[in-house]
Amino acid sequence: MRKMLLPGLVSGLLAACGAPGGGGDEQRLRMAEAAMASGNTGAAIGIAGQIAAENPRDAAAQLRHAEMLAATGRWQPAAEAFARAVAADGASRQARLGLGRARLRGGDIAGAEAAFREAAAALPQEAGAQSGLGVALDLQGRHAEAQAAYRGALALEPAHVGARTNLALSLTLSGQGSEAVQMLETVARAPQATPRQRHNLALAYAAAGDAPRAAEMMAPELGDRSREAALAWRAALDGS
């Protein structure tokens, strides 16, 4: 019932806001946030999109619209909205990284590569731009270039977990499992390690030919099936 009433309520409040711009935008944005929180994503995106259309040079308005689209998995329109945010403020970290990520999620890998390269040029100290570039390159099978990008990210930010993990996975995919193991062991064997981190290490073990340890790392989630999974990974990595 609440979701059925909300569009009508939103329409009434929009009419009460008067002319676009000024303080009315703040009120409408709060309404959009409330709609998003209540699960009425269509109303939220509609309001945020209207504000963005009325304020094309307002980077914050473009960015909030883009983020709402991305949160609902609408990757192509999200990428377009992030591009508008970049046009409004080329120094915005959120806009530039958001554009690359939206293109990646939407399957535009070449476009993502271009976006991350532009982000790295505009924000030369931003490790996330280098890490994102690495992902785009890895997805194209260009592992050596990807690894250079990840190492560039780690040179900027040694504690960047995403870059470290992605570098290890790239090394695994290019047949360098032993080096990947060295990179992942400290993180994946820590008490606070996530299942994904443990499974990444398991894949690295499999690539290095150590099926027993690969099975050990997957056992908490897969139980008795962990050894079978480790052997399957090993076979896949061998191309058999």
What pLDDT is attached to residue 235? 59
Residues in contact with 1: Cβ distance below 8 Å, sequence separation at least 6, in sequence order = none
Give which of 134, 131, 130, 153 is closest to 142, Cα–Cα. Answer: 134
What pLDDT is attached to residue 25? 76
What pLDDT is attached to residue 15? 36
Give which of 199, 188, 190 is closest to 221, Cα–Cα. Answer: 199
Measured CA to CA, the distance from residue 99 to residue 89 in angstroms comes to 13
Mean pLDDT, 10 residues at a time, the chain of 240 residues: 41 40 70 82 86 91 93 95 96 96 96 97 96 95 95 95 88 84 81 81 80 76 64 54
What pLDDT is attached to residue 67? 94
Q: Supply the pTM of this predicted model.
A: 0.76
Q: Which of the 8 DSSP states describes residue 51?
A: H
What pLDDT is attached to residue 37? 84
Alpha helices in the chain (DSSP H): 2-16, 23-38, 41-54, 59-71, 75-88, 93-105, 109-122, 127-138, 143-156, 161-173, 177-188, 195-207, 211-222, 226-238
Domain 63-85+93-174 classified CATH 1.25.40.10? yes
What pLDDT is attached to residue 39? 85
Domain limits of the chain?
A: 63-85+93-174, 178-240
What pLDDT is attached to residue 12? 38
Measured CA to CA, the distance from residue 112 to residue 115 in angstroms comes to 5
What pLDDT is attached to residue 104? 95
What pLDDT is attached to residue 200? 81
CA distances from 231 to 81, 159, 177, 201, 208 (A): 44, 32, 15, 14, 12
